[in-house]
Chain A
Amino acid sequence: MTSYLLSEFVSVKQRFARSVNVERDNLVQGIEGYILTGRALDVVARVVAVLSCSTVDRAFSLTGPYGSGKSSLALFLSALFGPAGTTRNLADKLLATCDSSLAEQLFVARAKGGKDGCQRGFVLCTAVAQRESVAVTLFRALRAGAIRYAGSEACARKRKEFAGLFDCGETPAVSALCRMVERVASVAPVLLVLDEFGKNLEQFAATGSAEDDLFLLQEIAEWAVLPRSYPVLLLTLQHLAFEDYVAGISVTQRREWSKVQGRFVDIPYVESAAQAQTLISSVFESKLDVSAWAAEMRCVADKSGFSALLHVDIEQLYPLHLLTVLVLPELCARYGQNERTLFSFLASSSPGAVPTFLEQCCLSEMFETKTSEKTQKKRWGTAESEFSGDMLPCVRLNHVYDFFLQANSTMASASVSASRWIEIETRIRDVAGLGPGELRVLKTVAVLNLVAAGGVLRASRPMIIASAADNEAGTKDAAEVEARLADLETRGIVTYREFADEYRIWSGSDFDVQSAVRLARYRLESESVAAVLERVRPQTPVVAARHSQRTGILRVFERHYVDAMTEVCLDERQVYDGAVLLCVDLEEQVLELNGYGNSRPVLLATVSDPRQITSLAEAARDLAAHVDVLHQVEAVSIDWVVIRELRERVAAAMAVLDVSVERIFGFETKFLEWQVLGRESVQGGGCVFRSLSARLSDVCDRYYFGAPVIRNEMLSRRKMTSQGVRARRELIEAMVTCSGEPFCGIEGYGPQRAMYEAILSCSGIHRERHGEIGFGPPVSEQTSSLGFELAWTVIEDFFREAEASLFGVDEIYRRLLLPPVGLREGLLPVLFIAAFLSYSDRLALYENGSFVARLELPVVHRLLRNPDLFSVKSYAVSGARAAVVRRFSAMLQVPDTSAKQLKKLAKGKGRSRVASVVRVVGPLLKRVQSLPLYTQKTRRMTQQALAVRSALFTATEPDELLFSALPQAVEVASFASRDVYEEMEIIEFVSRVEVALSELESCFGVLRNHLEKQLGSCFSVQDNDARLIIADRVSQFSDAVFDSDITSFVLGLTDTALDRDEWLDYLGMIVTGKAPMNWVDEDLHRFDLRLRELTASVRRLENLYYERCETPCEGFEAVQIGFTTAKGVDRQRVVWVDKTAQAGLDVFVIEALALAEQLLGPPGREMLLARFVQGVLGDDTKLVDTCSEGGESGVCAGDVRTRQRE
């Protein structure tokens, strides 16, 4: 019942070293384990061929990936061409077994070196390059070769040919090196092997300075060709083609490079699939009889369709599963270091490698007994199913996965297909709760995914089954594997891709990051360095700290890269106080600053060292390429793995760039020159500053000398806070409404008070002057150190300029933002409004081009919000116009500061400007603005009043209104452009305007009077108490009214809540359905007509009422009079006759009747009656007019259908 470890039967045949050092390693040991692969043979053949022919090129460059066995080959070559002895014999033997004819050719070639040469071999100069110049490596190789050839350093020194090598110091000149090679080659043939030659090339590309190197390489390649006594054979080993090492250098240099490479014969060092399998098959030797296993495997391979991929005998492959063999080379090439990784998997003792597997794997007891008998067929060979049964254990894909995960995960991240690796690894690591069987299947899929490149070798169902059906719990046979696979698919861990007939763990695409980056980089070549830098890594702005601290205004400079190809685009908006330009170009250039430099300081930093610029450009392009690809990938969201990988790469590239930038533009590095451009171009030479900030502060001190000290953080902020904006609004409201009060009437200690103190009070802008508190210029520099003077002067200058025409408020803001004042936006409205208020009597404000009569709060709010919609005009008047203004002030009783100035003028002290157009026009317009709509529209007034009204309502410019429009309206000569005047003329003008204004103001009152008169006449009441009388009369029968029109009229008539004017307006509204305020002239006519209709109705009602009513009023006699004419006019009216007046009337009536009879005979009495009735009741207009004009009331008696009530 003993169990045996598999390692007892299977072992690793040879020693496989992980890596070889051509300088250090013992030749014998290296050769013993060497596997002469196909391509190695090829190289040997070429070298031999070259030696036997004198004219061909003898410089070779061997290019192959990491760990492909280049260094081992170099060792083997050294052995072949080395001195006779065991090593050479070993090598010869190895060569002869592989290729006997080549061995013979070699023998011939070797013989060319003479007998001595054949015995002592070549001078073997081998060296491993470091990041150093080629000359240094070459020199080291020569020395090593000489010492080895001579036996020891002492012996070498004695030989005159080698002596030169030891007494020329460490780094000989190139020409000296050439001579040395010549000397060495005169002793024996020379084999020059430079391993890791790529490092020399990198060094060359990085420094870009070693022109000598280029020359040396060229020389060496040429010597190799030159015919001389002994040949010189040069072999360089590197990973990439020459050109790839020097991708970053200039075009001319690159051209030189290709010339150099042309002199080398390039041999690509890549193994074919068959070679790789041969190599793998030679690793293990097995004591087991594996023929049955092999037959089984063959069967599997045929069934799964990958037998065509196998190039070696299956039996030799044990203990590796066939798929493992197929997958390994590809996997090593993609995610590892080729053969180095391959052999470490096959032969090393690292965890997860094959030897570990062998040691851990037990053979079953049954199997052991059967093998020991060595007679019977193995039981598993006759099992029911091909994949079940006691199969010999072998290394399957899940083991491969484990190994790569543990040993090689770091390598993987550096490889081209890293994204796929990362994703698969992450998926498998993160998925929880899988059984061992599922995990094995999953890992199998993973490995197949990692190498999948289409074709047979992919994670198809047969492949997975072929590898995963391993007779262990959970994956015993094909059916169980399929079940596991189905589980995994259900859980969403693997997906089946139908189009590819493949299971996949990774969901992303096969995005090739490196080639995408390379392409992006290629595209970037045409973009200028400055543009690239600006795009991917813009510089942050810098603060001029000391200056900012002193003035309370934060001065910030933007920083940009510039070069000849890029247009400098500085932000013209007032965001920054200046600019720092970092020049990444060597050529002298003219910067187009587009006026920016004239307004704000611009600093230019130029770099004197061209190499620095080159490396910066490289770093920038690298970052930009990665950023571009990342954006591209993110835009289409190709897959998260690629995005993650790219983000990491971007971060790394950014770090590299930052270092590069800091090295160049970090402050005051030795190759940086500073210069101030623009208004005063200053060479920054002399002074030395501790930091960029200090330099900027110095520049600010010179540029922004007029900046006041702002002791309020809220106002000097670049972008105000909402609380700040609110406080500023409240401050400005206080300034506008309470400018005459201490602290502008601000109560308490809110933020607005702080602003007030900092800006208006401390500076002396708002203070008491001549006994009055108000706004004015700040106090002079001696008493206040705040320095508001210049800012104030700038505003004053602006107001002076605004005399000619309108000037936008934003223009003044712009000036204050620029040097030398350089204020912050927050402060602008405060200062502007303070100055505006201090000059308010001669400044007019315009909004959207129209005059603002008064600075009211809503206007202020809009001004704060949209200063660009506002403009300012300044008025200074003199002569006739001043006189006009004075007269108007007196007329309008403008509470006048100019009155004081008038006095001053009289005493000859004041300024020439005495009165203010603005202060007059405002009240003037105010007076007419409140007129009712009727007054604004009616034509029922004098021509002059109409003209004045039209002038006032159509005026757009204050001065035009006052000096030309109004004079024209009242027929006075214009004052617009004359200085000769007489006082009387002006008095006349003003009084005419006054008259017109009075007429306008009384116009609506006239209308009301008219309404009252009409009402009175319709109700035949001509009395001061008409309203009361009418109300009293109507209220008698108002309950009897049902018609809605009449109802409202009656209710209106009886209303007592309203005063006279209101009552008239109300009645006007009821009668016309439109408020008299809104009437036009036609409404007046409508009123007259409608009123008559309504009154007629009311009077009829009245009649009806009195028919029913006994005694309506005491002391009156009611008489109803009616008449009808032939035209159809029918009128009825109850007339009230005052009994006290009856006696007086009787006298007149008797006389009139007598007179009529006397004139016309007896009918005269009746005719008189008819005419009376017609005249009084309004049919005959002629009589009606005379009647009413004569002031006769309609109270008269008639006897037509008269009914006595009493």
Chain B
Amino acid sequence: MFARVRGNEAGREQGEWQLSMHKDVPESRRVHHIMGLSGGKDSAALAVYLRDRLPDVEYFFCDTGAELPETYEFLAKLEAYFGRRIHRLGSGRDFDHWLDLHRGVLPSPQMRWCTRQMKIKTLEDWIESAFGNETVFSYVAIRADEPHREGYLSTKPNVRVEYPLRENGIDKEGVMRILAEAGVGLPSYYKWRTRSGCYFCFFQRKAEWVGLATHHPDLFERAVAYEKKAGKNYADYGMQDRVYTWSQGETLPELLARKDEIMARHEVTMERVQKRRKNIPLIEMLGDVLDEEDDTAPCQMCGL
């Protein structure tokens, strides 16, 4: 079923990756392969990895309309690599659409309609409409060196989830190599942020908010505007006493006012982590540092 195995990249070293799981599917029935891109490095690497191993993988990206420009750029690069367009799911139903339908109530960890509407439901709807009840293999980018997790498991019985990176022992290093060799590289937001997703994701760490303000002042302003407007909407819909803030406990302007404090703390942690582990790539360290500063669980679905 392979198209062909290309030069000196991970796949060859790891040995031929067998599609063993396909054996129990009757020949006569059509099977589909889908793979979701999040805009992050792991999913990108898996996509690169799959391109020449599986024909006709349908790549998709749940577009919230509120991604970082870097993400769109990165996707375009991936598209150039695949030579086919990535399905943009949820077209016409971007974040603002759903915000309208929720009467201006912004999502929050307590009321996380964003993931539900824009990622999960969108994906389920797409599977339903594109493949009906035919068997669908969904490839999820969980690395071999990641703690065990499952990612999003569809409720549909015809969807089977596969973890090629984990099964083939591809770790962070492997991911980096795959991306470099494909000429795709890392998304450029990795300089200041470790996760993909909406620019105003409420799971962002404080230092990442500061990063947003530094790298995309316009987007930061837009997030501030959302926050302000949500305050008004809360008042309109009977939540007068509550103030909506993207980041826990403070409004964005307040957070930005503490910019130096946050970044100073960030630097300190950065140094500490560096001392603890020698010779690690900056990218890895940033993740560790941010995790240490704030261990808010990231949005799993968005990060996949």
Name A residues whose Cβ lies closer than 8 Å to a Cβ of B.
856-859, 861-862, 865-866, 869, 933, 1038-1039, 1044, 1047-1049, 1051-1052, 1054, 1056-1059, 1061-1063, 1065-1066, 1068-1070, 1073-1078
Contacts and interface: CB of A to CB of B under 8 A. Distances in A.
A1063 B83 contact: yes
Contacts of A869: 100
A1048 B76 contact: no
A422 to B, nearest CB: 37
A1048 B92 contact: no
B109 interface: no
B92 A1077 contact: no
A862 B180 contact: no
A1078 B81 contact: no
B100 A866 contact: yes
Contact of A1073 (B7, B181, B185): B185
Nearest to B104: A866
A865 B101 contact: yes
Given A1048-B181, A1075-B76, A1075-B77, A1066 B103 contact: no
Given A1073-B183, A1074-B73, 13 more contacts: A861-B97, A865-B101, A1038-B7, A1051-B181, A1057-B52, A1065-B79, A1069-B77, A1069-B81, A1075-B73, A1075-B76, A1075-B80, A1077-B80, A1078-B76
B100 A1062 contact: no
B84 interface: yes
B181 A1059 contact: no
23 contacts: A856-B92, A857-B92, A861-B97, A862-B100, A865-B100, A933-B76, A1039-B7, A1039-B8, A1044-B180, A1047-B8, A1051-B6, A1057-B4, A1057-B52, A1059-B83, A1066-B81, A1066-B183, A1073-B183, A1074-B73, A1074-B76, A1074-B77, A1076-B80, A1078-B72, A1078-B76
A1074 B188 CA distance: 11
Contacts of B52: 1057
B130 interface: no
Interface in B55-104: 72-73, 76-77, 79-84, 92-93, 97, 100-101, 103
A701 B9 CA distance: 82
A1054 B183 CA distance: 13
User: Closest 4 CB pairs between A and B?
Assistant: A1062-B83, A1048-B183, A1075-B76, A1070-B183
B100 A1066 contact: no
B259 interface: no
Contacts of A1056: 4
B80 A858 contact: no
B183 A1062 contact: no
B3 interface: yes
B266 interface: no
B100 A1057 contact: no
Contacts of B81: 1066, 1069
Nearest to A864: B101
Interface of B: 3-4, 6-8, 51-52, 72-73, 76-77, 79-84, 92-93, 97, 100-101, 103, 180-185
A563 B51 CA distance: 80
B171 to A, nearest CB: 18
B92 A1051 contact: no
Contact of A1047 (B76, B100, B181): B181
B80 A1048 contact: no
A1059 B80 CA distance: 11
B103 A866 contact: yes
A1044 B177 CA distance: 9
Contact of A1044 (B80, B84, B93, B181): B181
Contact of B83 (A858, A859, A1065): A1065
A1065 B93 contact: no
B146 to A, nearest CB: 24
Contacts of B82: 1062
B91 to A, nearest CB: 8
Contacts of B182: 1048, 1051
B183 A1052 contact: yes
A777 B184 CA distance: 58
A490 B182 CA distance: 82
B93 A858 contact: yes
B190 to A, nearest CB: 14
Given A866-B103, A1051-B181, A1077-B80, A1057 B97 contact: no
Given A858-B97, A861-B97, A1069 B183 contact: yes
Contact of B79 (A1049, A1052, A1077): A1077
B98 to A, nearest CB: 9
Contacts of A1057: 3-4, 51-52, 83
A859 B100 CA distance: 11
